[in-house]
């Protein structure tokens, strides 16, 4: 048998590691003192009722523009003018970001590490959305070998240069990494550099993580 080759699981953060804001409306309404059912935008869970989401998926607005719209709308509901994403996320998610981390993510991260795989995050807005201090509230992030965040690099997915930063930072070939993201357009950047990928289905997180881990094993077997 050949010597085992080091592989890496490369994850987006929002939607993949953390639950989406669409899934936590009840928590957000409670945190803001809003009546249940006030927040009605559902994104991928009900695209037909969310025109801005459809526009974003069609490339007519950016993901940041979509969330800026939702930030303004939600702030207006409570009479507040939020001008920065950490204000928005901090208010709707409270002081405990660990409460909205996907249990499936924690299991997959632990399993990948147990199998000897390396771990990386490739995000467009990790600190932009959550604020620089939130990482200390998520102890599992210490298991990651690398975090590449466009908040600081200025290079957004799907730009292949963002993926090149991961490859260089991990010191692994693209083919040895498996990238997971819930936004299909971001996967084009992985494809451009030859990085295997999984389109994460936020409605079926367990199945998506199972596919990613299986793909890592398939790569190992080659």
- pTM exceeding the 0.75 threshold for the entire prediction: yes
How far, in Å, CA of 213 to CA of 215, rounded? 5
Has residue 3 been placed in a domain? no
Residue 41 CA, chain-centre distance (Å), reads 19
Element housing 65 (H / E): helix 63-77
Are 88 and 157 in the same domain?
no
Ramachandran sector of residue 196 (left: φ over 0; alpha: ψ -120 to 50; beta: rest): beta
Enclosing domain of residue 14: 8-18+101-221
pLDDT tens-digit map of 105-161: 999 999 999 999 999 999 998 988 888 778 888 999 999 999 999 999 999 999 999
Provide the domain count of the chain: 2
Has residue 154 been placed in a domain? yes
Are 106 and 197 in the same domain?
yes
Are 13 and 114 in the same domain?
yes
**Which of 70, 97, 124 corresponds to the end of one domain?**
97
Are 125 and 202 in the same domain?
yes
pLDDT tens-digit map of 176-192: 999 999 999 999 999 99
Are 116 and 187 in the same domain?
yes
Are 143 and 75 in the same domain?
no
């Amino acid at each position: 048998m050949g010597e085992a080759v080091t592989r890496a699981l490369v994850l987006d953060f929002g939607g993949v590691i953390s639950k989406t804001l669409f899934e936590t409306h009840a928590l957000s309404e409670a945190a803001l003192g809003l009546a249940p059912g006030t927040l009605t935008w559902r994104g991928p869970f009900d695209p037909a009722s969310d025109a801005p989401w459809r526009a974003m998926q069609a490339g007519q607005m950016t993901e940041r523009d979509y969330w800026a719209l939702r930030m303004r709308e939600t702030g207006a509901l409570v009479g507040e003018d939020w001008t920065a994403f950490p204000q928005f996320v901090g208010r709707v998610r409270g002081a405990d970001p660990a409460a909205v981390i996907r249990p499936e993510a924690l299991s997959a991260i632990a399993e990948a590490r147990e199998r000897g795989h390396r771990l990386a995050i490739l995000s467009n807005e990790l600190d932009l959305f959550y604020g620089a201090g939130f990482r200390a509230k998520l102890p599992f992030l210490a298991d990651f070998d690398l975090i590449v965040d466009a908040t600081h690099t200025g290079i957004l997915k799907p730009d292949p240069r963002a993926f090149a930063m991961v490859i260089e930072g991990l010191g692994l070939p693209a083919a040895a990494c498996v990238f997971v993201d819930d936004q299909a357009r971001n996967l084009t950047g992985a494809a451009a550099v030859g990085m295997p990928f999984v389109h994460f289905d936020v409605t079926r997180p367990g199945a998506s993580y199972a596919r990613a881990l299986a793909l890592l094993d398939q790569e190992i077997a080659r």
